[in-house]
Structure 1
Amino acid sequence: MTIVILGIDLGKNSCSVVGVDATGRVVTRRAMRRQTLIDYVAKLPVCVVAMEACCGAHHLGRLFAAQGHEVRLMSPEYVRPYIKAQKNDDRDAEGIAEAASRPTMRFVDLKSQEQLDLQTLHRVRSRLVAERTNLINQLRAILLERGVIFPVGRRKLELGVDGMLAEGIERLSPRVHQLVGELRAEWKLLDAKIGALNTEFIQLARNNAAMRRLTSIPGIGVLNATALVAAVGDASSFAKARDLGAWLGLVPRQYSTGGKARLLGISKRGNTYLRTLLIHGARAALPSLSTTDTPLGRWLNAMIERGVHRNAVVVALANKLARIAWATLRKEAGFDRGYPVAG
């Protein structure tokens, strides 16, 4: 029995394993716990170990790669078509092994421990920002029900609530006044945690050459630079700059048939968090870039003069920034404002 490809369906506690030989025939099916799986793979001759790119896959992938195995991680959506009949863990493992044998399959690069740590910091910050937004919305609703209205904007609400708590207001009962104070204290705690993470991102960007080069690109700040390095590393897994934009879902969806091409809105595939950061960065950089006499500025002005919707211009700029980021990471060079920009 020679296992050529080992398909593993990862679970929190138990993992399903299917091994296939050179002809694609299933030669082993097993279910085992994670530590048992690690010991089992360590005893196998060198083979291909295939998994879906999900939680815990990168950690196990590094362990198996250190043992000499070839690790192939795949997006779950690419594995789904290879799962036969009813879905269960055993069928999933068999589908993973089958998908890994396809020559046209796209694989996910293993992330280093540093990339995973950076990605974790971003996820924690994103959760804290969402909690703060929810808290602010709830605080506005509580005050609105009592006829207390503040202007739009987080800073204006912050100043208004602080003044209200200091002076007191008759329309609030003592209990609600106390509750608003507690919510404001929670808000300050979230601000402190988010600020600490922002400071950490700034320090990380200063100490990393790739991140410093990325921040030289207009519209890409510390958050974008650190998130890009965490997600794509040196971008070596993308053969062309367009591939990075497509992976981020910044290119049009295509529905073509009969030789007739039909392009729709952007696909919104891939890393939603990173795509959102790039679009926000492009929106912030658009006013200043469109006034510059540079290739990028002239390209933006040409779209604006054609009457392209502002949101479409922002997304096009975000896609352009992703392409420039790819070139910066691959060529290890900073952004050149005078470099020609392709349409």
Structure 2
Amino acid sequence: MLLMPVGIDIAKSVFQIHHIDVETGRTVSKAIKRASLLDYFSNRTPCLIGMEACGGAQHWARQLVKLGHQVRLMPARFVKAFNIGNKSDAADARAIWLAVQQPCRPVAVKSEAQQAVLAMHRMRQQLVKMRTMQINALRGLLAEYGEVMGRSRTVLDKSIPGALLRLAERLPAMLIDTLRDRWNELAKMDEQIARIEQRLRMWLKQDKDCSAIAQIPGVGLLTATAAVATMADAKSFRSGREFAAFIGLVPRQHGSGGKIGLFGISKRGDTYLRTLLTHGARCVLANAKDSGLWVEQLKKRRPPNVVVVALANKMARTIWAILAHGRPYERGYQSQSPRLV
């Protein structure tokens, strides 16, 4: 049965809805208050509802799925191509209505538990950025008074007590006390980051999917938990390559006149997960005693950064294979599926 397509442009207070009434054939474009959205769809026959994958979309997708509707979350970049004319809420809802009827790779609707894991990752990432900003600010301020230090955190912790003592002889006490407080804040951020990682480690032990892919070389605590939460359902991807393309670890293409050129990776999709996989692959190449015959042969033909991205792509495919087929990681496993000639 074909479902009636509906486009919803979500916002904080007023949502815009666009669809064509099946009985009358008239175009319906109306604004609905936030509190009335679920009531509008509660008594309707199942619809194909399209929304942009933006803030709040996961919550409304889960609520609409409970009412029996099919929800498709689409990247904003995909929807933008259907926005014709001036920008408005009505035009955006119409663009979403047009886009939901086209074939595309939708964003997976995540459960609340999966979204909670991603929220932990986002808060940890924010703390790491704030800690880095604090370290750079301290180094810059101290350099203004002739105290130049190395970039590493260890060098800063060793050098800053002596630097503050020397500066206390010629600078106001209010500045020295403020600098010392800012330095002490770094230890508090370390504790907050450690607590988040401890909670993620508990989730890793409880979740069988996270524990399974954590056995892959280069996949640690952060990569395992982020990959499972981001993927949501592994079977929504047809292959490992499709999952690798979803996070931007495949070549960017440009074709014209029957000629196709391949360039660097597309860098589309989830930047955070792609970064974790790339760093994990770099660690494997730097520390593994036996990285495998495939990697050793690739090193002879390609530059180091290309090898890193290729290994990250392979890790992404391995993650999908383990989660989609429900089997443990086996080093040196050879796929028995027939290859296309």
SS at match of 1:261: strand
- TM-score, normalized by length of structure 1? 0.91
Tell me which residue corresponds to 1:150: 149
Confirm or deny that 1:139 pairs with 2:134: no
Gap runs ≥5 in structure 2: 337-341
Q: Is the 8 A contact 1:18 1:26 kept in 2?
A: no
Shift of 1:310: 1.1
Give how far 1:26 is off: 5.2
CA 1:15–1:272: 2 relative to 1, 3 Å? same
Distance 1:101 1:188 in 2: 52
1:322 maps to what in 2?
A: 316
Alignment of 1:115-194 (within 5 A): 115-162=114-161, 164-165=163-164, 170=169, 172-194=171-193
Q: Distance in 1 between matches of 2:101 and 2:207?
A: 37
1:55 equivalent in structure 2: 55
Query: Aligned letter for 2:97?
Result: A
Aligned partner of 1:74 in structure 2 is 74
Alignment-derived partner of residue 239 in structure 2: 240
Q: 3-state DSSP class of the match of 1:35?
A: helix
C-alpha contact (below 8 Å) 2:108/2:232 kept by paired residues: no
Larger CA deviation: 175-184 vs 317-326: 175-184
Q: CA contact under 8 A between 2:227 and 2:273: conserved in structure 1? A: yes
Q: Which amino acid aligns with 2:297?
A: A
2:63 maps to a residue whose letter is L
TM-score between both structures, scaled by the size of structure 2: 0.92
In structure 2, the partner of 1:288 is 287
Contact 2:235/2:324 (<8 A) preserved: yes
- Work out the CA distance in 2 between the residues paired with 1:171 and 1:282: 49
SS at match of 1:31: strand
Q: Which moved more, 1:154-163 or 1:34-43?
A: 154-163
Residue of 300, 306, 309 corresponding to 2:303: 309
1:207 alignment counterpart: 206
SS in 1 for 2:28: strand
Whole-Å separation in 2 of the counterparts to 1:223 and 1:22 = 47
Q: Is the CA contact 2:21–2:28 (under 8 Å) kept in the aligned structure 1?
A: no
| Contact residue 48 and residue 71 of structure 1 kept, 8 A | yes
Does 2:89 match 1:95? no
* Larger deviation, residues 38-47 vs 62-71: 38-47
Are 1:34 and 2:34 an aligned pair? yes
Partner of 1:300: 295
Indicate conservation of the 8 Å contact 1:79/1:96, yes or no: yes
2-side partners of 1:338 and 1:163: how far apart? 53
The residue identity in structure 2 corresponding to 1:298 is L
What SS does structure 2 have at the residue aligned with 1:262? strand
The amino acid of 2:299's aligned partner reads I
List 4+ stretches of structure 1 deviating above 6 A.
none
Kindly provide the CA deviation profile for residues 168-210 of structure 1, in whole angstroms up to 9, marking residues without a partner as x: 7646542332121011122111111111101111111011111
Counterpart-to-counterpart distance in 2, 1:171 and 1:270: 52
Residue 335 of structure 1 corresponds to 329
SS at match of 2:19: strand
RMSD of aligned Cα (Å): 2.2
Q: Does 2:269 align with 1:270?
A: yes
Kept in 2: contact 1:146–1:171 (CA 8 A): no
Amino acid at match of 1:51: M
SS in 1 for 2:225: helix
SS in 1 for 2:259: coil
Q: Secondary structure at the match of 1:236?
A: helix
Are the equivalent residues in 2 in contact too, given 1:8–1:15 (CA < 8 A)?
A: yes
Contact 2:51 2:57 in 1 (8 A): yes
2:236 is matched by which residue type in structure 1? S
- Counterpart CA distance in 2 for 1:275 and 1:40 is 39
Q: Structure 2 CA distance, aligned partners of 1:134 and 1:161?
A: 16
What displacement does 1:137 show? 0.5
Distance in 2, Cα, partners of 1:75 & 1:25: 28
2:173, 2:67 → 1: CA distance?
Answer: 65
Matched residue, 2:339: none
Secondary structure of residue in 2 paired with 1:108: coil
How far 1:44 moved relative to its partner? 2.1
| In 2: Cα distance, 1:340 partner to 1:88 partner | 53
Q: CA deviation at 1:155?
A: 2.0
